[in-house]
Amino acid sequence: MPQGTGRTDAGVHARAQGVLIQTSRVWEPYRLLAALNAHLPKDIRVVAARPAPEGFFPRHHAVAKRYIYRLGLGPAEDPLAAAFRWHVHQAAPLDLTAMTAAIPPLLGSHDFSSFRCADCAAKTPVRTLHGIRILPVEGGVELVFEGSSFLMHQVRIMTGTLVEVGRGRRQADSLGEVLAARDRTRAGLTAPPEGLCLEKVWYEARWGMSEPCPWGERD
């Protein structure tokens, strides 16, 4: 049974999904890569294959992840990017300064119950968020989230809440209270899945499957 680094919501993309498989014989990596891609649907591709150390499991040994949420801005949606962006229709530009000012209360280790969906089955709502960056790009904005792990819909809810700040519908200094409330109804909307992509995963250094995690390995 294949084991992935983690689950992504329907409609969410991934560039860095690590998948462990067991084969009945030894394969040369490039031949295994070609064989897998010959049978996978065209919207899924294996870009690298390598032997895994005995005892390595991508889900258990991931110590940090980077997600990017892509927003499309402007008067009209770009049809070529629609499958990978949330186009935010707005009468005035998003206030990126206010969105940036709203971020600090979310950083660090907290109970993120206000930013988890009702169906989240995680045993604990406590997560560690290492950083959030807001990067203007051509045609829109990228929100970069880096953390130890994330609750179901956490990034999408944080994105929706920050967009509400950018639209002037929520005060930039309100997110500390939202976080402390531990109440999903206090946060903003859940952003659509299409704009979200898992971009990078860091694993425990002892396995040699990624470069060392810049924030250390455990909380």
- Structure tokens given for 180: 């402390």
Helices (H), 114-174: 154-166
Contact by Cβ (8 Å): 194, 67: no
Helix (H, G, I), strand (E, B) or coil at 184: helix
Rounded to whole angstroms, what are the CA distances from 132 to 31, 107, 147, 158? 39, 8, 9, 10
Please list, in sequence order, all residues whose beta carbon lies within 8 angstroms of the beta carbon of residue 126, skipping any fewer than 6 positions away: 109, 110, 111, 112
Q: Is 9 designated active site? A: yes
Give the span between the Cα atoms of 182 and 42, in whole angstroms.
41
Whose CA is closest to 74, among 5, 140, 153, 149? 140
Give the span between the Cα atoms of 125 and 132, in whole angstroms.
19
Rounded to whole angstroms, what are the CA distances from 77 to 32, 169, 192? 39, 22, 15
* Residues annotated as catalytic (active site), given as ranges: 9
